[in-house]
């Protein structure tokens, strides 16, 4: 699958929540930081509403590293990306809710094939930390 926004490979399935929001954007270089800040804050707020304590920022050794990654207890659970084209901008994020073991395994294989270094301990999903959290709960939290 080709994602409109993003860098390196990202692994997700039906146990994930994908956010994609297109907004009008008059100039290519305008608003990038603001969109990252607002989108990441929205994800962190949603996770806090579920009783979680998210951190925003790059984890040492994380896969698809970024300053606007969201983590729980040292595990990256959301990554963000953007794509800007003439007249509009996309903010995209993947919030990984379940399947942390499969995510780690897939990223391990992908990053080995790409010859990229990373720390597998940084990969996982929300349910690795809070097994009671469901995809539906994350979707509802992000909508409110």
In a domain, 98, yes or no: yes
Q: Give the domain CATH number at 111.
A: 3.30.930.10
Work out how many domains the chain is built from and give that number. 1
Q: Residue 122: is its pLDDT beyond 80?
A: yes
In a domain, 2, yes or no: no
Burial category of 62 from C-beta neighbours within 10 Å (exposed 0-12, middle 13-18, buried 19 and up): buried
In a domain, 19, yes or no: no
In a domain, 17, yes or no: no
Mean pLDDT of the 59-72 span: 96
In a domain, 76, yes or no: yes
In a domain, 21, yes or no: no
Range of the domain at 71: 26-139
0.85 exceeded by the pTM? yes
Going by C-alpha positions, the residue among 32, 10, 1, 7 that lies closest to residue 94 is 10
In a domain, 20, yes or no: no
Between helix 135-143 and helix 32-49 the angle, nearest 10°, is 120
% pLDDT > 70, the chain: 94
- Exposure pattern of 82-99 as b/e (b: 16+ CB <10 Å)? bebeeeebbbbbbbbbbb
Q: Tell me, what's the pLDDT at 27?
A: 84
Q: Tell me, what's the pLDDT at 44?
A: 98
């Amino acid at each position: 699958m080709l994602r409109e926004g993003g860098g390196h490979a990202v692994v997700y399935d039906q146990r994930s929540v994908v956010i994609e929001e297109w907004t009008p954007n008059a100039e290519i270089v305008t608003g990038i930081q603001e969109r990252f800040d607002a989108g990441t804050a929205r994800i962190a707020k949603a996770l806090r509403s579920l009783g979680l304590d998210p951190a925003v920022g790059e984890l040492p050794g994380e896969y698809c590293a970024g300053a606007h990654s969201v983590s729980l207890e040292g595990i990256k659970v959301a990554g963000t990306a953007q794509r800007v084209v003439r007249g509009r901008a996309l903010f995209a994020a993947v919030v990984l809710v379940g399947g942390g073991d499969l995510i780690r395994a897939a990223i391990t294989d992908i990053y080995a094939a790409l010859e990229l270094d990373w720390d597998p301990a940084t990969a996982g999903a929300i349910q690795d930390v809070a097994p009671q959290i469901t995809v539906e709960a994350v979707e509802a939290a992000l909508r409110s």
